[in-house]
Amino acid sequence: MGSSSIIVYIPPVLFGLVALTFLVLRQQRIVTNWQWGAGFAQTALGFSLSTFPIEPTFDAFTSGMIFIGAAYCYSSAVFDHFQARSYDRERHWFVGAYTLLLVYFVFGLQSLRYQLFLTDIAFACLIGMALVSAFSKARRNADKWLVASIALVVVDTVARAGYFFFHTDGSDSFSDFVDSAYNLAVHVTTITICMTFPFSALVASGVAALERHREAAERDPLTSLFNRRGFEAALGGDGASDGAVLVCDIDHFKQINDTLGHAVGDAVIAAVADMLRQVSGDDAVTARFGGEEFVVFLPRRQLPEALASGERMRQTVCEKDWRFFGLTRTVTVSIDLVREGESDPHAAIARADRALYAAKAAGRNRVFQAGHEADANLSELASA
């Protein structure tokens, strides 16, 4: 293969552009890790060595270290993207063993075939580790595409390594690498098959960034519950659904802030949020509407079941040992319930919210129904 062929310039240029894109995205805080950019930059540098060789032995060893560094960064980026265990210690040992073998094959055996086979297999193993961890975690279509493209890279790398090592009799001299059939095959498969990898990584990272932005816009940062916007989005555009609405308010919360400070107040809010989330059930939509006020939508709940859920929430908060928070008294909540049938839950929230403050004048630490105390008949309703 002539070194002037246009094909040799395509991989370093493309991978360099992808690396630059990831660098810009990270500076804009759209991409959260640096490993994608580092991996693609190293790949571009590795291909540049075959396009602009320096000295054969130096090129063989340096390119091997560059490509294994790229594989390490790729695997780190995949682990981070899918929030999977990264196996750092195991990968460090693997790279250390690879480096020792590379030194032996390059400077001891001085064998191009062994050096290429070793680098390809080690590259595939590192990315393959990430592939195994990511396979079961890919839920979004963009993530599935990323996993599929990683699998293509692994298959291509292993197939090429096996074919050229076991079924061809190419030159074993480092000086013949640039014009070898192997180098041409690497460039061709990279441009055709493996180029899906960097673009799928870009798409998957972009989709993940959009979801993080949406989560940040729809979640309360203190409690991780939905905020008002997230609550409305979770219920759907028109908000119409059959179920019950519980409006929950922490009793005498201002006293906690005034006597113990806002840090303790925030801790109490976060603790109450956790309890409401645990008691309300997996299908419930739980939100913090601001301050010490929470709203829980219980889909498809009839009145007795909804009242029982509200009572469990009240008891859970009341029975907690709050001394860890520096409190000398029990924290309690007042809950107002509206059963909506087919009506709009948002209208129920407004009505329950107004009724709650009037109802608290009759006594706190209670569950009310539509502004009327429901504790007295709770057991009867729950058993109906």
pLDDT for the residue numbered 244: 83
- Confidence tier at 381 by pLDDT (50, 70, 90): very low
pLDDT for the residue numbered 359: 54
pLDDT for the residue numbered 354: 60
pLDDT for the residue numbered 324: 85
Pick left, alpha or beta for residue 239 (phi over 0 → left; psi -120 to 50 → alpha; otherwise beta): left
- R_g over Cα of the chain: 30
pLDDT tens digits for range 287-308: 998 888 898 988 888 888 888 8
pLDDT for the residue numbered 118: 97
* Residues 205, 25 contacting (CB under 8 angstroms): yes
- Confidence tier at 143 by pLDDT (50, 70, 90): very high
Which tokens hold the place of 131? 């592939």
pLDDT tens digits for range 80-138: 999 999 999 999 999 999 999 999 999 999 999 999 999 999 999 999 999 999 998 99
Torsion sign across C-alpha atoms 348, 354, 357, 360: negative
pLDDT tens digits for range 233-288: 887 754 456 778 888 889 888 888 888 898 999 999 999 999 999 988 888 899 99
pLDDT for the residue numbered 358: 55
CA 261 to chain centre: 34
pLDDT (average), residues 326-353 = 70
292 is known as an active-site residue: yes
Active-site choice (232, 292, 311, 340): 292
CATH numbers and ranges of domains, the chain: 6-217 (1.20.1070), 221-382 (3.30.70.270)
pLDDT tens digits for range 31-48: 888 999 999 999 999 999
